[in-house]
Amino acid sequence: MKILVVDDERAIRNSLKEILGDEGYEVDTAEDGIQAEEMIDKEHYDVVFCDIKMPGKDGEEVLDFVASQGIDSAMVMISGHGDIDTAVECIKKGAFDFIQKPLDLNRILITVKNAGERTTLVKDNKVLKKKVYGQEMIGSSEPLQHIREMIAKVAPTDARVLVTGANGTGKELVARSLHALSTRSAMPYVEVNCAAIPSELIESELFGHEKGSFTSAIKQHKGKFEQADGGTLFLDEIGDMSLAAQAKVLRVLQEKKLSRVGSDKDIQVDVRVIAATNKNLIEEIEKGNFREDLYHRLSVIVIKVPSLDERKGDIPELVDYFAGQICAESGKSPVKFAPDAIKALQGRSWPGNIRELRNVVERLLILGGNPVSAADVESFC
């Protein structure tokens, strides 16, 4: 754990550094608010002990700086006897705790322990939210505004949606948004990547199987359609699904019932299906690789997600979002991108779309300066 001690009294700085260093913590010190902000801007600290009354910039101003930059360091305010009211105000502004002078060793160590646990919980919560809710659709370009308008109109209905677009454009985000804004949002949202499942297992994965129905079927298994009952099933890369599985999916869509592999018993299901593909399904139909009747069942509404090259106006917002996200996940202080760096990124072609841009941003955060410059883009992209 990394700690910053900010106090204009050298004796207090040195004392805290020695105490916390003996406990195994990595400790830096700053003699005033100005130096503290410079250090916090360059380095991530899990805990910041900050005196309230200091010349130049005081502790309140440092707290305001940390809050305005979205930095998740736990701020512990050090208050003199006459600073209690101010310390309470700091707590209201988001400070984790305050410690009154003269400093008590046990209180300091307990506060550090609790602040460290809080920082860990904040990081874990960010990761969990990302897993549960996915990422946002970032950008304000005209193509993206059109997508949002389509989602707002279609989501409350039960209409099936086919989402098309190249790899890395964010088709899964469209599917998640459709579910989140639907009347089924409280029910399960289940994803299936049809391209990642071997053709001989896709039917078992989608429709389930009975015990003993094939060699490795050692127990009964509910398929994705049953798991999504009452909610939404997202069939990603449906263009890669086998024709045999397509026939069964068509039956479920027509009759709202299925039978598990190894069983002739029908099971009723109520599922909204959203499908996505990076292929031209009309061409796949002509080649005999995709059923035309299934295509028409799935494509009640078609939403085409634009490539990043079609929405380069969103690159500044996307870069800012990814930089903030990556820095927070890795525990780094925020890193800025210079205007010429953004312009250089907008001048590039992005065949890998949003996914490629995120990878490039992460690379530049590791290898580039702060702020990231056009020269960094030229060198590392």
pLDDT at 133: 39
- pLDDT band per the 50, 70, 90 thresholds, residue 124: low
Q: State the residue for tokens 């250090």.
A: 39
Domains and CATH numbers, the chain: 2-132 (3.40.50.2300), 142-306 (3.40.50.300), 311-380 (1.10.8.60)
Q: 91-95, 164-168, 321-325: which has the minimum mean pLDDT?
A: 91-95
pLDDT at 329: 84
What is the DSSP track for 238-268? GGGS-HHHHHHHHHHHHHSEE--BT----EE
Looking at per-residue confidence, does 324 or 85 come out higher? Answer: 324
Q: 217-226, 281-290, 319-328: which has the minimum mean pLDDT?
A: 217-226
| 33, pLDDT greater than 90 | yes
Looking at per-residue confidence, does 25 or 85 come out higher? Answer: 25
Distance CA 349, CA 347 (A): 7
| 134, pLDDT greater than 70 | no
| 278, pLDDT greater than 90 | yes
Angle, nearest 10°, between helix axes 142-154 and 171-180? Answer: 40
pLDDT at 125: 58
Q: How far is CA 322 from CA 298, 326, 335, in A?
A: 33, 6, 11
Name 190's Cβ contacts closer than 8 Å, sequence gap at least 6: 224, 227, 228, 231, 232, 233, 234
| 126, pLDDT greater than 60 | no
Judge if pTM exceeds 0.75: no
Share of the chain above pLDDT 90, in %: 67
Q: State the residue for tokens 């709202």.
A: 256
What would the mean pLDDT of 223-231 be, rounded to a whole number?
A: 93
pLDDT at 123: 66
| 76, pLDDT greater than 70 | yes
pLDDT at 101: 86
Cβ atoms 101, 82 nearer than 8 A = no
Distance CA 165, CA 239 (A): 12
Phi/psi at 61 (nearest 5 deg)? -65, -35
What would the mean pLDDT of 358-367 be, rounded to a whole number?
A: 95
